[in-house]
Amino acid sequence: MRRILALAALCALAACSGPVTSEEGPTASGVDGYYGYGVAGRDLRLEVAGNAFAGQMSDAAFDQALAALLKTPPERQPGHITLTPGPSARSNYSLVFLFNPGPLIYGQELCAGQRTQQPPQAGRVKVVASFCVAGRAITEITGQTDATGLADDRFGALMEEMMGKLFRTTGRFYYNQGGHTRAQ
């Protein structure tokens, strides 16, 4: 019995150090249309505030690494997340990530340009992100995980989960290499 309890406690501890996300605020009801018009097959401007690993790399290096890591979900038509969008980008569309957010900072605040932060906690990543159109949050999510650096799998898993939830489908359509297909 003790062995089972010890194993359960170990599993619980391991689960706590992995990514934890929470969808906040606006619903995804209109995200399909916004995504199709402003992200699919286009550049999407990435705005990054804060640095999850400030002691290990410069802000510019972190921003570049994050941009390279972020991918649109596989069920969506691909978009290109970039710090330097080209002419295909919609000027009023953006993806905003704030690391070490201050209290009461959510999607609407991010899209309005607020970037209040608090001091980072070593080994702990806290982040809030929002998909913004014309200064308004279409979707938003908060996340946290224990991670020691950019190469830590837990950080990559958190970013992948957040991107999947920021650009989640409403269930009506999904992307199937050749275009949109009605969901079953």
- Give which of 24, 31, 27, 29 is closest to 133, Cα–Cα: 31
**How confident is the model at residue 17, as a pLDDT?**
62
pLDDT value of position 67: 97
Per-residue pLDDT tens digits for 40-90: 999 999 999 999 999 899 999 999 999 999 999 988 899 999 999 999 999
Do 93 and 111 contact (CB within 8 A), yes or no? Answer: no
DSSP string over 11-73: HHHHHHTS-EEEEESS-STTHHHHHHHHTTTSEEEEEEES-TTTTTS-HHHHHHHHHHH----
Does pTM top 0.85 for this prediction? no
Burial of 171 (0-12, 13-18, 19+ CB in 10 A): exposed
Helix (H) or strand (E) holding 6: helix 2-16
Q: Tens digit of pLDDT for each residue in 119-176? A: 888 899 999 999 999 999 999 999 999 999 999 999 999 999 999 999 987 655 444 4
pLDDT bracket for residue 29 (50, 70, 90): low
Sign of CA dihedral 183, 130, 34, 41: negative
Determine the residue type at 32: D
